[in-house]
């Protein structure tokens, strides 16, 4: 006979146990009281107190057993996790905690483990995208949600943030993987030829059309099409694209035959489409058709912890065994990067040409070194006073952690604050200490 396993949620089991103990104590007390009252005898207070004390002791014992059953494996896991080098900093800070902070410490360790597992998942699922920051892991989560669907996706973000790479990854994780994935840059094709590229044309449709040509929509049939820089599409073409989105059909330029296609649309833009709608430069109805699942890519200045990993990736290409000096890394981390990843790649490749073994601050562009000042930590990209003060604080913390070799307790001493205060500031600014430790090995 097959054994059956019964599973109960602790959120149900624990309240039931303590409710049962309380109910049992009430019933026994009631029975004793009724017994004596029926015989016109004063109920003995001592026995009732004994029953109450027994209920309290039983509750305490059950509480201890339940907590031991739940917390013991968690505590064991945390102790084993603290021995890992990657979580060594948590163990160092744990030496100063009091007994009342055990739960906070467990929460901190489990949070760091979850953070580490998120980075591992990011590397495994998206090896082509360099990024382990919380911001990018959030993007990865959104990709995994929308990829298996046929929803139209609108990727927004500044120039150089990797929109095409994200679109490609989205297709690779979709159910249409292995089918055509056609890319077209709307701004790279002259306005007069864009419709021909998208819809195709018949022979003789215009001067130079010496043969029939299939458009990108036909070539993408059964798969997906990526329309980059959709904000630069001419208004006349926008109207025809809207029909394809709604009806999944179109005609070639100069043709009369209606062609139906099964295509998933992924689009991208670095422009503010809602503002373009107000000026009439972009169709409002097309925007709503494209903006089914919006995905915004953060600029590089909002995911600075990814910069060391990007640099390591770019340094693999020159074929040199290069490292980056601490001062150069500080300058790179403090820069605003208006050109984002594309600009960073160009800077690193240029520096690699001049460097022999180590990329120094002198190898970086003058515009970069002139903008960044680690004396006051302020960049021209900073906004309000609070933002500027936040940049100053973040720069000082990063510099102190670097000088302390990644040991937060030592960094706190350099900054003249206690380790708990430093930990809260590190968390507030989303500084990845483990990444800073790896800078010495770059």
**251 sits in which H/E element:** strand 249-251
Residue keyed to tokens 């903008």:
371
What CATH class has 134-297? alpha beta
**36 sits in which H/E element:** helix 10-38
Phi, psi of 13 (to 5 degrees): -65, -45
Among the residues of 83-215, which ranges form H helices? 88-94, 102-125, 134-146, 163-172, 191-199
DSSP SS3 for 178: coil
CA nearest 344: which of 311, 373, 387?
A: 311
Measured CA to CA, the distance from residue 349 to residue 264 in angstroms comes to 36
Dihedral over alpha carbons 33, 34, 39, 40 (to 10 degrees):
60
Which residues are 268's β-sheet partners? 155
**264 sits in which H/E element:** strand 264-269
HSE-up of 239 (CA within 13 Å, CB side)?
3
Which CATH code, of 3.40.50.300, 3.40.50.2300, 3.40.50.10490, 1.10.8.60, is assigned to 301-441? 1.10.8.60
What per-residue confidence (pLDDT) applies to 100? 45
Cα–Cα distances (Å) from 99 to 91, 94, 102, 408, 415, in that order, read: 15, 10, 6, 21, 27
Measured CA to CA, the distance from residue 335 to residue 349 in angstroms comes to 17
CA nearest 268: which of 176, 186, 146, 180?
A: 186
Measured CA to CA, the distance from residue 420 to residue 233 in angstroms comes to 53
Q: Provide the residue-wise pLDDT of the chain in tens; the chain has 442 residues.
A: 555 555 556 666 667 776 776 777 777 777 777 777 777 777 777 766 776 777 777 777 777 777 667 667 777 766 666 665 545 444 444 444 444 456 666 666 666 656 555 555 556 677 788 887 888 888 888 998 999 999 999 999 999 999 999 999 999 999 999 999 999 999 888 877 888 889 988 887 777 777 888 889 999 999 999 999 999 999 989 999 999 999 999 888 888 888 999 999 999 999 999 999 999 999 999 999 999 999 999 999 889 888 998 998 898 876 678 889 888 888 898 888 999 999 999 999 989 888 888 998 888 887 777 666 544 444 444 456 676 677 667 777 877 777 777 788 888 888 888 888 888 888 888 777 776 665 544 4
Residue 185 DSSP label: E
How many residues does this entry show for the chain? 442
Cβ neighbours for 243, distance < 8 A, ≥ 6 positions apart: 249, 250
In this structure, is the dihedral angle defined by the CA atoms of residues 406, 410, 412 and 418, taken in order, positive or negative? Answer: positive
What per-residue confidence (pLDDT) applies to 381? 46
**H/E/C letters for each residue in 134-159?**
HHHHHHHHHHHHHCCCCCCEEEECCC
What per-residue confidence (pLDDT) applies to 67? 67
What per-residue confidence (pLDDT) applies to 4? 58
Tell me the chain's radius of gyration from C-alpha atoms: 32
Cα–Cα distances (Å) from 359 to 326, 347, 365, 439, in that order, read: 9, 11, 12, 13
């Amino acid at each position: 006979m097959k054994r059956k396993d019964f599973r109960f949620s602790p959120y149900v089991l624990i309240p039931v146990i303590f409710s049962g103990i309380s109910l049992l104590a009430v019933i026994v007390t009631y029975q004793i009281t009724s017994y004596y009252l029926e015989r016109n005898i004063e109920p003995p207070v001592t026995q009732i107190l004994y029953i109450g004390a027994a209920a309290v002791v039983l509750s305490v014992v059950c509480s201890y057993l339940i907590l031991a059953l739940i917390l013991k494996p968690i505590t064991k896991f945390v102790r084993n996790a603290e021995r890992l080098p990657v979580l060594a900093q948590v163990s160092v800070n744990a030496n100063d905690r009091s007994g009342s902070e055990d739960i906070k410490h467990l929460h901190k360790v489990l949070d760091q483990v979850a953070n580490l597992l998120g980075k591992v998942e990011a590397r495994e699922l998206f090896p082509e995208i360099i990024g382990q920051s919380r911001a990018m892991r959030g993007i990865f989560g959104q990709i995994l949600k929308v990829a298996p669907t046929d929803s139209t996706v609108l990727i927004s973000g500044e120039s150089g943030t990797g929109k095409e790479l994200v679109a490609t990854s989205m297709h690779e994780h979709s159910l249409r993987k292995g089918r055509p994935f056609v890319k077209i840059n709307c701004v790279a094709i002259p306005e007069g030829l864009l419709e021909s590229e998208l819809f195709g044309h018949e022979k003789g449709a215009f001067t130079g059309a010496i043969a029939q040509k299939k458009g990108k929509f036909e070539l993408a049939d059964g798969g997906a099409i990526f329309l980059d820089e959709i904000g630069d599409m001419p208004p006349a073409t926008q109207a025809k694209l809207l029909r394809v989105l709604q009806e999944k059909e179109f005609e070639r330029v100069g043709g009369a035959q209606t062609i139906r296609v099964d295509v998933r649309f992924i689009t991208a833009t670095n422009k503010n489409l809602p503002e373009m709608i107000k000026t009439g430069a972009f169709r409002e109805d097309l925007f709503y058709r494209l903006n089914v699942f919006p995905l915004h890519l953060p600029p590089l200045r909002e995911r600075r912890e990814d910069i060391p990993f990007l640099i390591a990736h770019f340094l693999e290409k020159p074929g040199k065994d290069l490292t980056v000096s601490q001062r150069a890394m500080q300058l790179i981390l403090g820069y605003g990067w208006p050109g984002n990843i594309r600009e960073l790649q160009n800077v690193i490749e240029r520096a690699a040409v001049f460097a022999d073994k180590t990329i120094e601050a002198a190898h970086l562009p003058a515009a970069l070194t002139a903008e960044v000042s680690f004396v006051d930590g302020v960049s021209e990209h900073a906004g309000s006073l609070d933002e500027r003060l936040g940049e100053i604080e973040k720069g000082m913390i990063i510099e102190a952690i670097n000088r302390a070799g990644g040991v937060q307790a030592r960094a706190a001493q350099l900054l003249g604050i206690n380790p708990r205060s430093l930990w809260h500031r590190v968390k507030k600014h989303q500084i990845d200490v483990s990444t800073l430790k790896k800078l010495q090995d770059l």
